[in-house]
Structures are given as structure tokens and as C-alpha cells.
Structure 1
Amino acid sequence: MSVIGKQIKKYRTQKGLTQEQLGQLLGVTTQAVSKWERGGTPDAELLPDISQALGVSIDALFGREEQRLTASLARQICQMKNEDAYRYAFSICWAIEIGFMQDISALDDFLNKFIEHSAITTDKTDYFAKMMQDGGVATARLSPDFHHFFLMVEPKSSIREQLADVETLRGVFELFADKKLLKIIFYMYSRLNTPIAASLISKNTGIESKEVDRCMEILCKNNLATRSSVATADGEIYSYMFHQESSVIPLLCFADEIAKKDYHDFVGSFDRTKPLL
């Protein structure tokens, strides 16, 4: 089988098209499509029509795009300033999100209006895009000046098998349910991560020093902070370094999303045929 024939079959199958259906879209016979997929090569003038019918580039038909895309994106992002790189990366995430719509006619109309996610956030509304399909889950927040994206590829086993046991997960949520602990977490994330004494945490949170020590001990046990001792003229005191764990911020973002009562599901697809867990 030629490379182009292999790619046509691959993308035709991904689109859920039969050889006959693809032939009808292209104005050729089923036999012509079958011939391509068995090693033949379509006429060059048909390539733009084939790429449009399959929703891929001509480079992809020759097997080149997949190899180049990751490297090309990595190089582009690597050469940008951090702020620009994150904004550019989110535009790619937005393209991924709307690509999961999987309806070419609807997608073309949607892209004409919202090719840039910034076109959505012209007011103060919180917008969300949610895709829950067989194959995975993708969600994006498009609120004014607050954008984030989550993508999960469906594991071969159940999602539940990948997660920790219920008691372990409950322990994590218990941390964030404690008002004092959450207040300290917010304060620690609001400052540069340098050693800090309980007295300063107390001063900035309004929590008594003894309670701060109790809370910090819990955070240390859960690997969110590290305690070390410092010798002073008045004796030994403890200082803390907070582990700025990157998972905390997404957890807070998704908690905020769940808590929202006034928001708009901008676009969504909930066509899973199997349960999430």
C-alpha cells in the first residue's frame, strides 16, 4: 500500500466514511477509492478535494504533517516570551476543543465566527466549552482574561482504575475544605516562595500562631510544604517553604467552575456511550 493510500484509508476510517461515501463526496467510484487504498495514487488535481473531504492537509495525506507538527509547534513556542507562548498555546488548545465538534459543516460555520477565542469574551460572562466523548474529555474556560484548558485521553482501562482509593482522594479534598488551611494556601501562593516563619503567616492571615503551626504540620505531611528549624537568640523557631505544586491551581480553577451558578456553556458535546468512571 502506498503512503497516500494508507493515509486516505486511515483518515476515511477516522471520519466514519465508507469507500462509497468518500467516492460520492469526490465524484469518483467506490472502485477508485478502493484502488487508492490498495496502492494506487489519485490524480494530483483530486488532492485538494480529498484533503477537504477528510478534513486534513495535503501534507497529512503524504504522511508528513504528523511528524512535523509537534516539532514545529515546539520550536515556535520555544522562541517566544513566556507570556506570548502561553497565549499562543491556548489558541492551539482552543482549536483542539472546537475540533472535537466532529461536524465539518457546523465546524466551518463556527470557525467563521469564532476562529479566535477572544471573539467570545466581549462581555463579563463566564464561558465554558465542554466535550465528553468516547475517547476522552476536553474542557476549556473562556472567561474574560481567565482561560484554561484540560484534556484527558481515555485510558484503555477504566478511569476509576487510574485514580487513588476513595479515602486517599477524600483526604485531599479535606485539606481544601478546611477554611484555615485554604486561607494559608491562598496566602502562600500570593508571595514569592522564600522561607517564612509562622508569625508572619499569622500576621497576614489573622490565624493564631499555634493554629498556623498545626495547619503547616498538616500541609507538610501532605507534601505541600517543608519545615526547617532556625536558631535565633531567643531560641529555635520553625520556618516553612511552600511547595508550589502545580496541581493546586487547576484544582482551585475546577472547584471555582463547579461553584459557578451564572455561566454559559458556549459549546459542548456530551455523546459518550459509556460511563465516565
Structure 2
Amino acid sequence: MDNKSVFRMNLVKRRKALGLTQEQLAALLNVSPQAVSKWENTSYPDGELLPQLARELNTSLDFLFGVKITSSERDIEQLVDDEMRATLPENRAEKLLKIMYTALCACNPNNDTVAKLRGSYEHETYAGLKTDRELALARISRDLRYFCFLEIPDNGVNSYFGDTTNMIRLFNTLADDDAISIITYLGASVRNKMFSAAMISEKLNISAEKVQYIIDRLDRFGLVWRVSADIDDKPVILYGYTHQIPLTMILVLAKTITNYIQYMDPNVEEWTQGAFRRGDGEQDEVVPQVPWWGEGEL
């Protein structure tokens, strides 16, 4: 296929992906619809229009002209940047997960084929990566997809914890059914919506004292924020949820932990030690393996 044909094909493909008619694209570029029609059939745009065309189509000139980088010094970050910018916002989650899933699968030394994220899975399915340098877990069933990645420092993840008192306080808080109910109720709110403890108590049928106890704990963790208001000449404290990403991930991963993870696709395990390290720096001895069959051994 010649360069002109590639350009025309990619121009039509990108315009339609954005849901634009020839007339709408022409209006964005301040040209006639006939000009756009010619670009898609018989001619190129003027050179000075090409950068603007790429901007309006939210893509790159490399994509439009079908340029593929084959150098061993490929700029991977730029390739991902171009790909994500060329993807509609509503399709970016799928694209992002495919990129991360492919990268995870590529860490499997026993498979040299390009991984493809399937559209559906019969069972609840995960992908896992466990090495001495990184951990990754992805849930790839379509009803709820996520990807978590952790780079393991040389001295282990436990060195990050330090004082675990607040971790214990958080887990003690989350161990209460009513706390989960309050968090999920607040988490379903729109941005900057404020609630009184009395209203939460009424909505969730939890005693006002219990609601205030839990809200105070969430406040100390920075999971809610507070403002003071005078309502009917009475001072009232209103609370807004901070929509904390880590807390959402903690709850989702807690559900994952409590499910039996049976199906992994793939499960890459190239590790000799875990993500934690001995406090004194002592290294565990490698467990000796049974030697393979000797030549001629029966």
C-alpha cells in the first residue's frame, strides 16, 4: 500500500473514530467539506494544515502517515503517549489495561508471543507477576478490571511501614460493617457533596453515636473533610468524602484476598525471595532443589 493510501485510510479511520463528519472536520480546520473529501480520496492537505489536522484529530502525524518506529532506541513513552492521546476518553481504560496487561505478560520468559487481553473470561480471572524486583496483580474479568503494580526496593517493602499503629487503627475501623456502609455511601456521592452525621444516621439506620464515632476516625485518617455551618441558628459540622484512591483500592483488594484466586492468566513467578526483607539484613538461604536426572539414569 502506498503512502497516500495509508494516509487516506488513517484519516478516515480517525475521523470516524471521533464521530466527526467531513463537514464537522472541515469546520474545525476552516476549510470546505470538499477539501476534506479530496484528502480522503485523491490528494494531501497543504503542509501548513497537517499539524492542525493532527491536533483536531487528537493524534500524531506518524499515525496519519503510518510511520512505524523500528529503531532499537524506540521512545516507548512517546509511543504510549501517542496511543493514549489518539484514543477517545471513553475507550482509554480499555486501552490502558491492554498496555499494562501486555507488559505484564511480556515478563514471562516462557512465552515469546504478544499477549492479547480477551474480551470475556468464563471464570473470575487474574494475571500475576512475582519477581525479586516487582509485584503486579490484575483482575481481567470485564465486570471489574484493575491493575496494581509495586516496584520492590532493595531493602524490602517492610522498611516503608515504620510505625504500624495507624495501620492497625485503619484495619480496626474497616473491620466494622457500619464503617464499610458509611464509606460506600459517602463514596457514591458527587464531588464536594456535604453530609451531616445526623443525616447519615437516618439514611443508613445507624445510631448517631456510632456514626459520629466512625466519622471521627475517618476524619483523623483524612478520608473525610469537615466544614462548620449555622443551620437554623445552630452550629452543625458537615462532612465531605475525599474519594481517596488508596482506600478504594484497599477495599477492592480486600475483596480479592477473600475470594479464592483460582484462575491466573498468566501467572509469572520468577522470584527467589519475597517483597519483605529481614530487619538485620540477613539473607535467607536458598532452598536446595532436587538435581535433574543424570545422563543415563533410570
Query: Is the pair's TM-score, using the shorter chain for normalization, greater than 0.5?
Result: yes
What is the rounded CA distance, in whole Å, between the counterparts of 1:95 and 1:151 in structure 2? 13
TM-score, normalized by length of structure 2? 0.64
Instruction: Report what 1:264 is aligned to.
Output: 263
Consecutive unaligned residues in structure 1, runs of 5 or more:
1-56
Bigger Rg over Cα: 2
Cα deviation, residue 252, structure 1: 1.2
What is the rounded CA distance, in whole Å, between the counterparts of 1:180 and 1:244 in structure 2? 18
What is the rounded CA distance, in whole Å, between the counterparts of 1:159 and 1:77 in structure 2? 31
Q: The residue matched to 1:118 in structure 2 has which SS?
A: coil
Conserved? CA contact 2:121–2:141, under 8 Å:
no
What is the rounded CA distance, in whole Å, between the counterparts of 1:153 and 1:276 in structure 2? 9
Conserved? CA contact 1:134–1:274, under 8 Å:
yes
TM-score, normalized by length of structure 1? 0.69
Cα deviation, residue 249, structure 1: 1.5
Number of residue pairs matched? 207
Residues 78 and 205 from structure 1, CA distance in 2 versus in 1: closer, same or farther, beyond 3 angstroms?
farther
**How much identity, in percent, do the aligned residues show?**
16
What is the rounded CA distance, in whole Å, between the counterparts of 1:99 and 1:152 in structure 2? 17
Cα deviation, residue 276, structure 1: 2.1
What is the rounded CA distance, in whole Å, between the counterparts of 1:116 and 1:168 in structure 2? 41
- The 5-angstrom pairing of residues 1-277 of structure 1 reads 58-60=70-72, 63=73, 65=74, 68-103=75-110, 106-108=111-113, 111=114, 115-119=115-119, 121-123=120-122, 125-193=123-191, 194-261=193-260, 263-277=262-276
Conserved? CA contact 2:125–2:261, under 8 Å:
no
What amino acid maps onto 1:253 in structure 2? V
Consecutive unaligned residues in structure 2, runs of 5 or more:
1-68, 277-298
- Could you say which structure has the higher helix fraction? 1
Cα deviation, residue 262, structure 1: 6.3
What amino acid maps onto 1:156 in structure 2? D
Q: The residue matched to 2:148 in structure 1 has which SS?
A: strand
Residues 212 and 81 from structure 1, CA distance in 2 versus in 1: closer, same or farther, beyond 3 angstroms?
farther
Conserved? CA contact 2:97–2:147, under 8 Å:
yes
Instruction: Report what 1:9 is aligned to.
Output: none
1:73-131 per-residue CA deviation (whole Å, 9 max, x = no partner) reads: 2243235443311211111011011111122xx332xx4xxx43124x243x1101111
Conserved? CA contact 1:126–1:144, under 8 Å:
no
Conserved? CA contact 1:131–1:137, under 8 Å:
yes
